[in-house]
Structure 1
């Protein structure tokens, strides 16, 4: 018999009962298989035996020791009178619930489902065709698909085919893939010739930009002879198909326009919290601090809820599987790329943390590039409030994922076999929160660091930019550069002019877009998008001025100042920075949609270095190359947008 060591605790008792062991409630906690010598509250030794691997809890009830349930948090107390019967009732009720819990919750879910579909049916009967009813229909369909998928995944298993059948399926898959490449290549070539070259020949400049970036990346590739062209082709093809849906297909354009409007409507609920905290009539006076940044908090909280419900895992997992199947990329890098569509550059690698140490350098490069080439959903929500087109931001976020994999595999080809297995990588569990309230609270708490990081970085970098511009202007005045003054933006407007032109930006706007590319690359995309928002705002005001929508103008005269600023004579107002055409606005939205800047290098090294400390030296060697690849991935997306653009916002 094993000897056990334990501790015995006692309730308060009178001195007369102190010698009677039956008056004590006892708790024995097993520590190890050594001597068992429980001590009473008076330092005396007591003898007893407790079985191995058990914890016994008792309480005194009318002179009888009764066990306390293992999950009970109550203290050991003596129960008398009515409390005895209530305890018996609660214990019985608890045991009944444990035995019938599955049945009870199945009935509750069934009744709630029936009640919802009764409501849904009546809502469709009451007013079908109105926008709200269409929205209810779409949400119901998506929720039904999600629930059915979860049930099938939980209760059904897919039988594994024999090796012979697997070989046959593999051969069929190869021929199917080759047929798809040929068919899709012919479709793209024919479509570009018929629908673009003939009708909008100037759009072919963007096609030249695509070829230019591919050629340059191939020349400067880490291993040009080892390039696998499958991910490159399919990355560009998926970008083209997606851009075709939103820019050339009326139904697809209306769908994304509707989605963009719904996102804006959804984000507008943030104002309720801002009004309560900062004041209803004053919070908009500090637009960025009290209106833009709170959106990030709200969006982060809702994303946490969706993760708790398993919705995001479902979407990300299946997007990753699709990209891995089509592009033949490894499961780990595909999952990271899919995650980057919705979450930030330092959060997405958490999903593949167990695999980072064993990743190849090419896979690590793809992970870094994916972080640089995309933006987080919470940050995208803030850009929408800056008047950046929501539908194109949504499209750019999705298009950048395959673009990042394509450019990464061209710039740093795979030379080794991946060690990650699909069944391990795609096993994404729900988060550890106990309920939706905890998930929403955690999501809001997590955003504190992001909001603070954005705020302090904007203050720092805009201040640094002001200092640099003041210094450059002072230096320029010494040599007669006065109109316009020498500045960081002016230098960038000339250096990056060819990149803007190759993306298909209107010639008059090339310097402005080049300026934004420079700001995005050397400062960050948040500052660049804020400047783009000013251009968009100026364009709206200028259009109203020219069309005399207020009916108060007499001449409608205007003149350009310093090549960019526009003076409105009747209003005696100046549109600082000038205006930008709709085509340039759309292309720029895609070009800036990524975290690829100098400051993000430190963020990525810090995040991935902490997750995989053994690979820090490898990460340091490839991070700059990955940042360049992330930038070019954004430019490729912008080129495809410029190729297919036909005048829609």
Structure 2
């Protein structure tokens, strides 16, 4: 029965994607089938094999070490504020982003990341049937972040037609940056974070290939990217810039958390006082059918739907903290929802992405803003597809 629901869930995701397609006649089904099969294989390996456990343990071990190093800096500055044995979200989860951002800057500066991103993108372009620039951008988004990635393709931004610009923006919203992955692992189980990162990479190509199908001519399919103008900076100028960028991200996320959590609490209080039910519970009923088709038992679908809705109307961190409050959810439901939460698919991301593009090219930024809701729609379907496939192997 569980597998039948999963198959039905995948078909519904594709049906919802197909309805939003710009040109149904241009959809190429062979790459889609290949990528779905790859998703299933990768999910099976990561969640259900010894090799997958070793890979996940190694990756989580690296981030655990990085977070430990990051806390050395945090404790040096804020050590007197945090009492022994206490957990403060801002200090323990958000501020380590500063160190991870600095590390990414160093790897950028010594040309390690540009090399890795470029050639992984080239390999992916052979699998997904899309352009080299689109494949590069998907990998770069998963490393640099949803706004920073556009700096690396700023030479191409003003030359891109609307359909290719949509794909680049969709990749940015469907993935998460490496600077924030360690923070996710403080809140969610690392195996689900890693699985989501891998599945979303292919899921972004799958959903975009249906919503926004096109073929890139060989003349257009160039990959001349400029990851950043590090050659014009000294090492310490670059390092200072990345440290400040990381700090800005931590502050922005903290501010958004304060605002969204407070607003949701206020709205819940108003709804509870008038209707006797919270706003999140109402959203839970709306999203419950989607939770069920992802493989979540119906008795837990309303709670799961509430967490899914919270992510969309606020952000993934708020939803992750909300998930932690539901201690009675089954491990299967927690796993599926955890995979769903690992992406930037929320309303605030529309503004972040359109603002990032507008900062580089105003006209193209306005184009992005006009298809913003369609971006969110597609990115949410990517999360649903990843969670549904992961659910096959989560017990």
Which of 25, 28, 35 does residue 225 from structure 1 map onto? Answer: 25
Question: SS at 1:505's partner residue?
Answer: coil
CA distance in 2, matches of 1:249, 1:367: 33
Matched, 1:350 2:141: no
Cα deviations by residue, 1:429-479 (Å, 9 ceiling, x for unpaired):
773376655443332111122111111111111111122112111211xxx
Bigger Rg, structure 1 or 2: 1
Partner of 2:334: 585
Question: Among 297, 300, 304, which residue is 1:513 paired with?
Answer: 304
Q: Which residue matches 1:68?
A: none
Higher relative contact order (CA 8 A, sep 6+): 2
1:315 maps to what in 2? Answer: 116
> Following TM superposition, by how much is the alpha carbon of 1:357 offset from its aligned partner in structure 2, in angstroms?
1.8
Shift in CA distance, 609/351, structure 1 to aligned 2, threshold 3 Å: same
- Structure 1 residues 497 and 530, CA, compared in 2 at 3 Å: closer, same or farther? same
> In structure 2, how many angstroms separate the alpha carbons of the residues matched to 1:314 and 1:377?
16
How far does the alpha carbon of each residue in 1:258-308 deviate from its partner, in whole angstroms, 9 at most, with x for none?
321332232122221222111257256461122212111111111111111
Do the aligned residues in 2 keep the contact of 1:368 with 1:623 (CA within 8 Å)?
no
1:71-86 maps to which residues of 2 (within 5 A)?
Answer: none
Moved over 6 A (4+): none
TM-score, reference length from structure 2: 0.93
Matched ranges for 1:23-102 at <5 A: none
| 2: CA distance, partners of 1:613 / 1:229 | 35
Equivalences for residues 264-275 of structure 1 within 5 A? 264-275=64-75
Partner Cα distance (1:283, 1:358) in 2: 54
Asked if 1 retains the 8 angstrom alpha-carbon contact of 2:131 and 2:216, the reply is no
Q: How does 1:617-628 map to 2 (within 5 A)?
A: 617-628=366-377
1: CA distance between counterparts of 2:158 and 2:83?
A: 47
Higher-helix-fraction structure: 2
State how far apart, in whole Å, the 2-side matches of 1:423 and 1:368 are. Answer: 17
In structure 2, distance between residues paired with 1:215 and 1:291: 41
Q: Which of 164, 167, 171 is the equivalent residue of 1:363? A: 164
Partner residue, 1:432: 231
RMSD: 2.2
* Residue number among 440, 444, 451 corresponding to 2:243 in the alignment: 444
Q: Does 1:393 align with 2:184?
A: no
Question: Residue 164 of structure 1 aligns with which residue?
Answer: none
Query: Would the aligned equivalents of 1:372 and 1:600 in 2 still touch at CA under 8 Å?
Result: yes
Matched-pair contact (CA < 8 Å) for 1:492–1:514? yes
Structure 1 window deviating more from structure 2 (514-523 vs 621-630): it is 621-630
Number of aligned positions between the proteins: 394
| Structure 1 residues 275 and 220: CA distance shift in structure 2, 3 A | closer
Partner of 2:99: 298
Runs (5+) with no aligned partner, structure 1: 1-200, 536-576
- 8 Å CA contact retained: 1:308, 1:433: no
Say yes or no: does 1:215 pair with 2:6.
Answer: no
How high is the TM-score relative to the length of structure 1? Answer: 0.58
Q: Is there any run of 5+ residues in structure 2 with no aligned partner, and where?
A: none
Note closer, same or farther for the CA distance 1:623–1:598 as it changes in structure 2 (3 Å cut). same
Cα distance change on mapping 1:309 and 1:489 into 2, 3 Å: same
**Given the superposition, is the C-alpha separation of residues 583 and 436 from structure 1 closer, same or farther in structure 2, using an over 3 Å criterion?**
farther
